[in-house]
Chain A
Amino acid sequence: MSAERPTRESEPPLLRAAGLGKSFGPVEVLKDIALAVRRGRVHAIIGENGAGKSTLMKILAGHLAPSTGTLEIDGVPVALTGPVDAERRGIVLVHQEILLAPDLTVAQNLFLGRELRKGLVLDDRAMNARARQAILDLGVELDPNAVVRNLSIAQRQLVQIARALLVPHRVVIFDEPTASLTPIETEALLKVIGDIRTKGTAVLYISHRLPEVKAISDEVIVLRDGRLVAARAAGELQPADMARLMVGRDVTKLYPARQSVWTQEPVLEVRDFSVAGFVSNASFQLRKSEILGFAGLVGAGRTELMESVVGVRPGRGTVKLDGAPVHFADIRDSMRAGIVYLSEDRKGRGLLLGQILRVNVTLAALERFTHGLQIDRAQEREALDASIAEFDIRVPRRRMLAGELSGGNQQKLFLAKMMMLNPRIVIIDEPTRGIDIGTKQQIYNFVVSLTDRGCSVIVVSSEMPELIGICDRIVVMRSGCIVGDVSGRLMTEHEIVMMATGATSEEAALVAE
C-alpha cells in the first residue's frame, strides 16, 4: 500500500507501522495497518466511532502494545515500553479526554512532573511566564494562575494541548482536539498545527470534522472496522468522499429532509431569566413541535440557561408551560412536567459509566419498572432490548458497562435513557459532540422524528451546520445574553457568527469560510 503514496523524501519516515494489529481477547480491533509518518506532514486519520482510530493512536503513543506487526522509528524497529518511552523518543499524544489535575493552576499543570526550579525551590515566575506564552502561542489568553477546575472544557483542552507541545516533540498525535472547541478556537488550533508542521514536526490528526481535515492535512488515512481502507493525498478528496470512504456508503444527505410542523402555540416560555454569573435576562419561546437551536460561543451561557430552566441549577425568572407559570425547584419537577435535559457532558452527567447498560437505560424512569417493592428486571431487559433496536445501539453483548461503549453508542444510550420518561419537551446539549458522521445522521433523524410525535425540541450546539441543518429557528447568545434569533433564509453561519461574536460582517465571513 505504501508504494502508492508519494515517497519524495529520501530519508526514512519518522514513524512507520507495518502489519499492525490489535486484538482484545477474541475481538480484533485493528488489522494489518501500514502507514508512514513523515517530517513536516499532517496525516489525518478518520473513521467512524469504533473504527479503531483511538486504538491505533494508543499503540503509536506506547499506551498499548500491538498484537501483531512492527513499529519503526527512523527506520529502526522499536518496541515501545510505554507512553514515557514514546515521549522520550519524541512521540506525544494529546488525549481526547481532559487529563489535568483540576485543583492545580494552568501553569502548575503545564509543568506537572517537569517543574522548573531555582535551586531547591520552584521557579513559579518562570513557569508562569512560559505557561502564558505557551497558551498565547495557541492564540488564546489565559491566566496561568487560574485553577483548572474553574476553566471551561474548551479552555482545559487548550491547556492540555499546550502541555503536550511543551516537551520536545517530533510526532504529535491529536485525538479529536477540536471536539469541544468553538470555530474561533478551532481556527487558532489549526494555525498552531500549521506552525509546528512548518518546523518539521509530523502530525497525526484525528477528527470527525471533515472540512477541518481537508483544510490542514497532507494525507488522509481512512479506517473502517479496524482496517485501513484508503490512504490518499488530501488534495484528491472532498469531505463528501471522505465520508463515503468512512461509512462505506453515500452520506451526502446528512440532515433529514424535513417539513416544519411547528405551530404558533408556545409550549415553553422563559422570560427575564437570569443565572448568577452566567446569564442575564434571557427570554425565549419554544413552540409546539418546533426544533429551536441555541447557538453561541463556548461560555455564552447556553448550557447554564438550560440547566437552570430545568431546575438542576439555581436561577431566577419566569417559566411558563402551556401558558401557566411553573417553578422547577429541582430537576425532578421538570421531569414530572415532561421536560428532559440531556447534558453536554454525557460521561460526567449522562451515564453511569461503571454500571451495566440495563441499569443506565432505566435509571431516570425507574418508577415505571418498579412493581410493589421490587424492580422488575425482566421488564428492564425488555426495555433495553427495545432501546437497542430503536436507537441502533451497537452492543457486542448485553451485560457490558456503559463506559465500554463508543461515544456514539453512549449518546444513543443516553437518548434512550431520557426517552424512557416520555417527554414532551426535549432539551439536548451538544447532541453530536465527538460522534462520527454515520451516528450523527441517525441522531438528527431521531431529533426530527421527535417533532412528528408532537415533541418540541431545543438543541444547544457549537456546530453551526447541524443547527442550520435541523432547526426551525436559532436563538443566538453572547456573553450571557440572548442577542436575537434567526430563521428561514437568515439561518446562515455568517449571520450566526456575526451575532454570536458581535463581529463585523467581514470578520464573520472569514470565520464562517
Chain B
Amino acid sequence: MWRNDAMAEAAASGTSRHRWSIDLDLKTVAPFVALGLLLLVGGLTNPNVIGIGNLLNVLTRSAFIAITAVGATFVISAGGLDLSVGAMMAFVASLMIMFMNSGVIADPAVMLAVAMIIAVSVGAVCGLINGLITTVGRIEPFIATLGTMGIFRGLTTWLSQGGAITLRSPDLQSLYRPAYFGSVLGAPVPIVAIFVAAGIGAFVLYRTRYGRHVIAVGSNEEVARYSGIPVNRVRTVTYVIQGLCVAMAVLLYVPRLGSTSATSGLLWELQAITAVVVGGTALRGGVGRIWGTICGAFILEIVGNIMLLSSFVSEYLIGAIQGAIIIVAMLVQRSLARRS
C-alpha cells in the first residue's frame, strides 16, 4: 500500500531488473526500513509499542504534522522552504474559533461549515502571501517565511491578548468533536485525513503536469524556465498547497482542543521539515516523496512514544532525539546516494 511512485513505476515497466533498480528502490524504501527497525526495537523494549491500539493512537497523533508535511513536501520539492507553518496554524485556528464565537450565524451546522470554509480560505491566502513574497518579491524563502512566521505568531498573540482563545458554544463543540474523535469505517478520522491528504498529494505530485513542473523547478529552475514552465506560478502554488494543508490540520486541531494560544503549533515547522527530509525528499529540491513524508511524520511520533513507554530515556529528551534523527537521516540518505 505504501508503494512509492518510483517503485510503482519500476514494477510497471518491469523490463529491467538490474542492480541499479535495486539501488534506486533502496533510497525510496529507506524510511520504511528505518520505521520497521524502530518498531522492532520498540517491540523488544516494550511489547505494547507494537500493539495495534498503540500504533493507531500514534498514527492519529502524527496527523497534524503528517498533513502539514504533505504541503511541505511540495514546497521543498520545488526548492523552497516554509518556516511559517506552525505560526500559520495557530493564526488560522484562532481566526476560526473567533468566528465561531462571534455567533453571526445562528444555526450551528451552517456556522461550522462557514467557519471551515473560512479556515481553508485563510490558509490558502496565507500560503499565497508566502509564495508571492518569495517569487514576485524575490526574497529567499528562508527569510520571507521567517518574517511571516513572526507576523502570524504576533497576530495570534495579539488576537488572544496573550491568553487563550477557546471555543465557547457547547453546541458547536459537540457538533465538531467527531471531526477529530470520530471514526470512518472503524478508522479514526485523523488517520483517514492523513491518507486523503497524502493520496491527493501523491496524485498531484506524481501524476499531473503541475507535479512534474514542481519537480522540474526544484531540479533546475533555469532549465524549467527555458522549457517554458511558469516558474513563479509553480513556486507560488506550492505555498498555497502548503497553506491548504495547514488549514486541513487546523480543521482537525480545533475540535481536539477547542482552544488556541500564542504557543499553539510551536516548532511544527521543524517537525514538518524533519518529516519531509526523513522521508527522503531532498532539501535542495527536485525529489519529492509524499509517502516517505508520511512515514517520516510517523517515525517522529513513534520515537516519542517508544521513549514514553520504555522509560529508558527521559521523555524530556524527545526534542534532542528528534534532532538526532534528522541528522542521521541525512547521513543515511547521502551514503545511499553515493552508492548508486
Closest to A333 in B: B228
Q: Hey, which chain B residues are within 8 Å of A21, CB to CB?
A: none
Instruction: Tell me, yes or no, whether B10 is within 8 Å of chain A by CB.
Output: yes
Most chain-A Cβ atoms within 10 A of its Cβ — which of B21, B207, B219, B230? Answer: B219
Contact (Cβ within 8 A) A348 B13: no
**Distance of A378 Cα from B252 Cα, bound (Å):** 39
Give A312 to B227 CA distance when docked, in angstroms: 10
Chain B positions within 8 Å of A364 at CB level: 227-228
B9 touching A377, Cβ below 8 Å: yes
Q: Does B208 reach chain A (CB closer than 8 Å)?
A: yes
Taken together as a complex, chains A and B put the C-alpha atoms of A386 and B18 apart, in Å, by 23
A-chain residues with CB within 8 Å of residue B207 when the two chains form the complex: 373-375
A370 to B224, CA, bound (A): 18
* Max chain B Cβ within 10 angstroms of own Cβ: one of A352, A353, A359, A364: A352
Residue A331 at the B interface, CB < 8 A? yes
Complex CA–CA separation, A312 to B228 (angstroms): 9
A348-B220, A375-B208 given; A399·B228 CB < 8 A: no
Q: Is the CB of A331 within 8 A of B226?
A: yes
Complex partner residue of B286 from A330, A331, A355, CB under 8 angstroms: A355
- Give chain B nearest CB distance to A433 CB in angstroms: 16
The answer to whether B225 touches A331, judged by C-beta atoms less than 8 angstroms apart, is yes
Is A350 an interface residue, CB under 8 A from the partner?
A: yes
A341–B228 Cα gap in the complex (Å)? 10
Q: Which one of B26-34, B209-217, B289-297, B322-330 is at the interface?
A: B209-217
**Which B195-249 residues sit within 8 Å CB-CB of chain A?**
203, 207-209, 212-213, 215-216, 219-220, 222-230
Residues of A within 8 A of B230 (CB): 330, 332
Residues of A within 8 A of B213 (CB): 366
In the complex, what residue of chain A is closest to B16 when comparing beta carbons? Answer: A397
Whether, in the assembled complex, B20 has its beta carbon less than 8 Å from a beta carbon of chain A, the answer is yes
Flag B282-325 by CB within 8 Å of A: 1 or 0 each: 00001100000000000000000000000000000000000000
> In the complex, are the beta carbons of A381 and B13 less than 8 A apart?
yes
- Which of the residues A343, A355, A367 comes within 8 Å of B226, measured between beta carbons? A343
Q: Are B209 and A355 neighbours in the complex by a CB distance under 8 Å?
A: no
User: What distance in Å separates the Cβ of B207 from its nearest Cβ neighbour in chain A?
Assistant: 5
Inter-chain contact B19/A352, CB cutoff 8 Å: no
Decide: B212 and A363 in contact? CB cutoff 8 A.
yes
Q: Indicate whether A113 reaches chain B with its CB closer than 8 angstroms.
A: no
In residues 319-373 of chain A, which contact B (Cβ within 8 Å)?
A: 330-332, 335, 341, 343, 348-355, 359, 363-364, 366-367, 370, 373
| Count of interface residues, chain A, beta-carbon cutoff 8 Å | 32
Contact B13 A352 (CB under 8 A): no
Verify if A119 is at the interface (C-beta below 8 Å from B).
no
Q: Are the C-beta atoms of B215 and A359 separated by less than 8 Å?
A: yes
If A370-B209, A375-B207, A397-B20 touch, whether A352 touches B216 (CB-CB below 8 Å) is: yes
Question: In the complex, A330 Cα to B230 Cα: how many Å?
Answer: 9
A364 to B228, CA, bound (A): 6
Separation of A398 and B9 alpha carbons in the complex (Å): 12
Which chain A positions have C-beta within 8 A of B227?
Answer: 363-364, 417
On whether the beta carbons of B286 and A354 are closer than 8 Å, the reply is: yes
B208's partner among A374, A397, A398 (CB-CB below 8 A) is A374
In the assembly, what is the distance between CA of A335 and CA of B230, in Å? 13
Q: Is A25 part of the contact surface with B, judged by Cβ < 8 Å?
A: yes
Interface-central residue, A348, A349, A398, by most chain B CB under 10 Å: A349
B335 CB-CB contact with A under 8 Å: no
Report whether B10 and A363 are in contact in the complex, using a CB–CB cutoff of 8 Å. Answer: no
Contact in complex: B226, A349 (CB < 8 Å):
yes
Which of B18, B215, B228 touches A355 (beta carbons < 8 Å)? B215
Other-chain contact of B220, A332, A352, A374 (Cβ < 8 Å):
A352
Within the complex, which residue of B9, B13, B225 is in contact with A312, where a contact is CB–CB below 8 Å? B225
Q: How many angstroms between the C-alpha atoms of A219 and B299 in the bound complex? A: 61
CB-based nearest A residue for B229: A363
Q: Are B9 and A359 in contact (CB under 8 A)?
A: no
Is residue B174 contacting chain A, with contact meaning CB distance below 8 A? no
What is the bound-complex CA distance between A354 and B286, given in angstroms? Answer: 8
| Bound-complex Cα distance A350 to B224 (A) | 9
Inter-chain contacts of A332 with B (CB < 8 A): 228, 230
* Chain B 148-189 near chain A by CB (<8 Å), digits 1 or 0: 000000000000000000000000000000000000000000
Given the interface contacts A355-B215, A359-B215, does A399 sit within 8 Å of B21 by beta carbon? yes
Residues of A within 8 A of B (CB): 25, 312, 330-332, 335, 341, 343, 348-355, 359, 363-364, 366-367, 370, 373-375, 377, 381, 397-400, 417
Give 7 CB contacts A-B under 8 Å. A332-B228, A349-B222, A354-B220, A355-B215, A363-B216, A370-B209, A399-B21
6 closest Cβ pairs, A-B complex:
A364-B227, A352-B219, A332-B228, A349-B226, A335-B228, A374-B207
